[in-house]
Structure 1
């Protein structure tokens, strides 16, 4: 792998050895040169830079990172943080999967009670379905959603999808249709649902429909970030979820746009939906690498977070996983 740097208007292409030398010249301790060069070659200099960014020496006058690292910065710590983030992404995806399936089932069931084909009848959906789409103002929210759904149905290799295409002119009952939807499509269907359906689904999780909608949107973004290998650790999120008055959420009211705040949404929904608690997220957070440069507090978890009601693993299986 090569990296291109700008220096006085000239482009400089560096191999992984050159990258390693630059890091060392800036004060990063690298004990295993071979490993560092291998990781720089296979993981990408810029991907790893997100993990050493907070190790840089900072000029207190301009609050701008200089080109040197603070004492104690090491490539081993960079990799420890990177591997922690890998485990965190894997746990997020694993814990979101059953939440996604539960939401599919709930949305499909409650919509199907009104009409098995309600998703094919925009007139029976809520007012959001009739709004002009932000992405394409010439079409409604429903028309944009329906085009995506039709594509998913037509491309699906599932036997049930082929059955409905061939035998029922693609008229798939909504409780079947949800199984073809990704999280984004399901999120938009929930947004377009009649208000009573939105409230019924939200009430199961002890929140209002606007709150549930914001949570689904936040978790869709989090899921996409994890699936595309983006850094989750020490990240700020643009969208904040709307919280209910549940006292268990007090711990994140000021940090809903930070990693711990977003992860707590997962823990809350898992509890409220009655899903098995494998203890993955608590186990990963307790594995954060102990160091003096990049503290665990950057995740925005408060002291004693592991004793909080939503973060204590519920099952013996979770205890076994964390041991």
Structure 2
């Protein structure tokens, strides 16, 4: 066994380690309970802001004075609520995109997704071949009744308006990219965006969706994908979010914009969760989520 592998620690020993590093733990049995149900390393992302700062971008293994385990759990619970609300807010947007892409491509050809000549020139290379291979794998794994019906009735070839329902978000984004420019423009226009903007938004929101689906951390996260925004002044409510697009709240604003533009009600649950942030933790302000001071004045964030 490699000497670099960390030594196993019981839950009691994990608590001892946290205490030795300066974490305040007032209720030891409760701390053990949380470590049992969540996992030490999943929680480490939430106590990271409580670690001492050695230099810019570098943290100590020891916690700053006043760090409390209860505050770490408060942040974790907030993030769990945020994931639930985000997934709920994003779902109808995803369904609308699936429906729009399946319908507009279906007008061109019943099996547009499998007919490169109907798609753009971007569907002529290796990326499209890989997409088709991945699509066939997803088709083979699907146990949806409508898939079984098409296999028995039509030999398994799904029309594009059915095929979009088995695609994961990443595959859906690629299909949008393969679509003819006029199809992309039509769909993007329904959301008040250009085709390149919607394509970039879909890629960014795929990361958000996957984070929610796999119980990842939205809190205090820096996002590498920064989506393109409409020109300054086109949507003032998005102008406010522009400086925060690499943070979670900035990207949640994208979801609200897409809902609003497509005639879906704004997510009040998502806004309520943001308002539920544990503000008593002064050391970790809500600004670390990318929330700006007057966010509640934005028409995209209803009270």
Equivalent of residue 296 in structure 2, options 303, 306, 312: 306
Pick closer, same or farther for the CA change 1:53–1:162 going to 2, 3 Å.
same
TM-score, length basis structure 1:
0.88
Q: Does 1:255 align with 2:247?
A: no
Distance between the aligned counterparts of 2:5 and 2:45, measured in 1?
24
Q: What secondary structure does 2:246 align onto?
A: coil
Q: Distance in 2 between the 1:100 and 1:20 partners?
A: 42
RMSD: 1.6
1:153 to 1:295, Cα distance in 2 relative to 1, 3 A: same
* Secondary structure, counterpart of 1:200 in structure 2: helix
CA contact (8 A) 2:52 2:63 kept: yes
Mapped partners of 1:48, 1:182: distance in 2? 28
Task: Provide the C-alpha distance between the structure 1 equivalents of 2:212 and 2:194, rounded to a whole number of angstroms.
Answer: 27
One of 14, 17, 35 as aligned partner of 2:12: 17
Q: Secondary structure of 2:53's partner?
A: strand
CA distance in 2, matches of 1:176, 1:63: 48
- CA drift of 1:12 comes to 3.2
Q: Paired residue for 2:283, among 287, 293, 297?
A: 293
Structure 1 position 11, deviation (Å): 4.7
Paired position in structure 2 for 1:57: 52
Secondary structure of the residue that 1:253 maps to in structure 2?
Answer: helix
Structure 1 residue runs of 4+, over 4 Å off? none
**2:194 corresponds to:** 208
Find 2:81's aligned residue among 77, 84, 87. Answer: 87
Task: Give runs of aligned pairs for residues 1-323 of structure 1, distance below 5 A.
Answer: 11-60=6-55, 64-131=58-125, 140-245=126-231, 246-290=235-279, 291-312=281-302
2:108 counterpart SS class: coil
- Alpha-carbon contact 1:72-1:293 (below 8 Å) kept: no
- In structure 2, the gaps of 5 or more residues are none
Deviation of the 1:312 alpha carbon = 1.6
Q: Is the 8 A contact 2:23 2:69 kept in 1?
A: yes
CA distance in 1, matches of 2:264, 2:172: 19
- After superposition, give the CA deviation of every residue in 1:95-151 in whole Å (9 maximum; x if it has no partner): 1111111001111111111112111201110121113xxxxxxxx222111122222
Q: Which moved more, 1:232-241 or 1:22-31?
A: 22-31
Q: CA deviation at 1:42?
A: 2.7
Deviation, 1:10, is: 8.5
Using the TM superposition, give the Cα deviation of residue 64 of structure 1 relative to its aligned residue in structure 2, in angstroms: 2.6
Tell me by how many angstroms 1:63 deviates: 5.2
1:58 alignment partner, SS class: strand
